[in-house]
Amino acid sequence: MKEVLIAESAGFCFGVKRAMNMARVELLEKNQTAVYALGPLIHNKQAVAKHEDMGLITVDRLNDINQNLESKVIIRSHGVAKKIYDEAGLKGINIVDTTCPFVKKIHDIVTKGEKEEKEIILLGDAKHPEVIGINGWCKDKAIIFKELDEVKNYKFNKNKEYLLVSQTTMNEKKFDSIIEYLKGLDLKLSIKNTICSATRVRQEEARKLSEKVDVMVVIGGKHSSNTQKLVKICSEIVDTISIETKEDMQDVNFAKYKIIGVTAGASTPDWIIEEAVDFLKRS
Ligand code: F3S
């Protein structure tokens, strides 16, 4: 049998694990209630398919929910804008709120900041659902920056008060370089570092594990950015194979490797990791 070392932080983070458990409970206890997810429950097509087999219906808008039936809608761990809660309330749709508590905290910070008439600076990707959601808690008025260059091109007003938050998965180096630049501008600025450590911990572990093994197997969606970042980190150190499920390894020759390391992106369920590890032990 091959030696397979699994990173402790492989797979779901606290917030995703919590959200998936809540979704599962709803589906197991739903009886006649229709259970919807507003957007794909998670960025993993195998996990989404499994939940859809249990009766989950994925919709992009609240308008797509059949209001003639008793229904519930699951808000994903990324969170959504305040107006979605308001709209669901008006339509009489019950909400199952699986917003990660760390994201919810950012909603509270920007809500308060906006009430205090501060200009909200939000660091992150304007197209990401988490960022769209956060912006929706400060009346969509946040100034959103992804890159330092965008910050440098912005005309700040020294008479205004700014409050800065960031997307939870923001790269820490990028965050630090933007903060350093902003501090040099002598603005009235309060900074809340709202980066979640789960991503950093997972990346650091992947790096350390890569140094101990002959090959790394990274499990997660081909379109999952945090998974592909893990692939990049590992491949800079050791041979690295990127897979979505164990089926992707059928043609890989593991004979030349003695010790195999395994990590997985934040949206990879445990059962996919376990299946891959079983396969690798017998490879
Ligand atoms: Fe929450 Fe951090 Fe995961 S913000 S969803 S625990 S990456």
Q: What is the pLDDT of residues 209-220, one digit of tens each?
A: 999 999 999 999
d(CA 248, CA 241): 9
The token duo for 239 is: 């041979």
- Ligand 1 atom nearest 197 alpha carbon: 2
- φ/ψ region of 78 (left if φ > 0, alpha if ψ in -120 to 50, else beta) reads alpha
The question of whether 205 is a catalytic residue gets the answer: no
This prediction's pTM? 0.88
| 128 class by beta-carbon count within 10 Å (0-12 exposed, 13-18 middle, 19+ buried) | middle
* C-alpha 68 – ligand 1 centre gap (Å): 35
Note the pLDDT of residue 185.
Answer: 96
Q: Greatest CA span in the chain, whole angstroms? A: 67
pLDDT tens sequence across 42-70: 888 889 999 999 999 999 999 999 887 78
The token duo for 158 is: 């020294």
pLDDT tens sequence across 9-33: 999 999 999 999 999 999 999 888 8
pLDDT tens sequence across 63-85: 999 887 789 999 999 999 999 99
- Ligand 1 atom nearest 12 alpha carbon: 3
Is residue 89 within 8 Å of residue 107, measured between CB atoms? no
Note the pLDDT of residue 223.
Answer: 80
pLDDT tens sequence across 116-168: 999 999 999 999 999 999 999 999 999 999 999 999 999 999 999 999 999 99
d(CA 241, CA 2): 16
- Best mutation site among 12, 14, 106 for ligand 1 pocket (most ligand atoms within 8 Å of CB): 14
